[in-house]
């Protein structure tokens, strides 16, 4: 079984879903420290000229795990998100097709950032017709707190024989430990597609919502461009 492990992001980009698509099991690493200025509570959307952050306001203390971070629902962020998406994507070819599901997602959001991120990942996964099973690391007992050991513990728990890492994994991973544990180690090398965008010249690395609103979420192009993985 091929397993991939990644922190739960808010409305992730296309490369996130390519990694999800290439795994048999995808584990959301929600039992690690929350970092505010990354992608755990925000992502990029395209404007008429450049891009902006679509951010979820959160309440947290330094050292809090992602699984424990609460959304600051005293702010009117849901309405602002939907209004922002209308402003910049209202004329996109597939905006109205996917608006009802997105509106329902926002309406059913509670207080947990991890739950919200899981919901956004599930919504986009279904649009892309990706059937990979998703589980949370916080539901797995007895995991090590040391980063590499934690990943290996997760692989052992699910009896995986292959670990799929992101392209940047070689910069920080202790790769030999995976080999020593009998795991085949693969690295993703995501090739970003260029597609028509409603607003100005093409900008890559937006939330996958940008691709969905502009192309109706056909994942075929992503799969065609990303068929190869690098083995360690």
Q: Which sequence spans correspond to the domains of the chain? A: 2-231
> What SS3 string covers 20-49?
HHCCCEEEECCCCECCCCCCCCEEEEECCC
Average pLDDT over the chain, rounded to an integer: 96
- How far CA 102 is from CA of 9, 22, 89, 185, in Å, comes to 16, 25, 13, 36
DSSP β-bridge partners for residue 55: 42
Nearest Cα to Cα of residue 185 among 203, 207, 170, 202 = 170
Q: pLDDT tens, position by position, for the chain (232 residues)?
A: 999 999 999 999 999 999 999 999 999 999 999 998 899 999 999 999 899 999 999 999 999 999 999 999 999 999 999 999 999 999 999 999 999 999 999 999 999 999 999 999 999 999 999 999 999 999 999 999 999 999 999 999 999 999 999 988 877 889 999 999 999 999 999 999 999 999 889 999 999 999 999 999 999 999 999 999 999 9
How many CB atoms within 10 Å of residue 50?
Answer: 11
pTM comes to 0.96
Question: In this predicted model, what pLDDT tens digit does every residue of 141-200 receive, in sequence order?
Answer: 999 999 999 999 999 999 999 999 998 887 788 999 999 999 999 999 999 999 999 988
Distance between CA atoms of residues 55 and 2, nearest Å = 32
């Amino acid at each position: 079984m091929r397993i991939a492990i990644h922190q739960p992001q808010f409305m992730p980009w296309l490369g996130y879903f390519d990694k999800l698509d290439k795994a048999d099991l995808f584990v959301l690493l929600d039992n690690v420290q929350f970092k505010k200025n990354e992608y755990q509570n925000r992502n990029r959307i395209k404007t008429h000229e450049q891009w902006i952050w679509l951010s979820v306001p959160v309440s947290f203390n330094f050292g809090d795990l992602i699984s424990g971070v609460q959304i600051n629902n005293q702010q009117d962020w849901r309405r602002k998100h939907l209004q922002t998406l209308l402003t910049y994507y209202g004329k996109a070819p597939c905006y109205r097709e996917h608006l009802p599901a997105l509106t329902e997602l926002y309406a059913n959001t509670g207080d947990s950032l991890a739950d919200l991120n899981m919901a956004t990942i599930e919504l986009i996964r279904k649009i892309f017709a990706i059937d990979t099973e998703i589980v949370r690391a916080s539901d797995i007992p007895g995991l090590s707190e040391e980063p590499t050991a934690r990943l290996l513990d997760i692989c052992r728990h699910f009896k995986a024989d292959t670990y799929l890492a992101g392209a940047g994994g070689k910069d920080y991973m202790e790769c030999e430990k995976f080999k020593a544990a009998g795991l085949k180690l693969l690295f993703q090398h995501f090739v970003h597609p260029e597609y028509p965008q409603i607003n100005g010249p093409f900008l890559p690395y937006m939330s996958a919502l940008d691709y969905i609103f502009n192309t109706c979420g056909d994942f075929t192009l992503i799969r065609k461009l990303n068929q190869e993985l690098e083995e360690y």
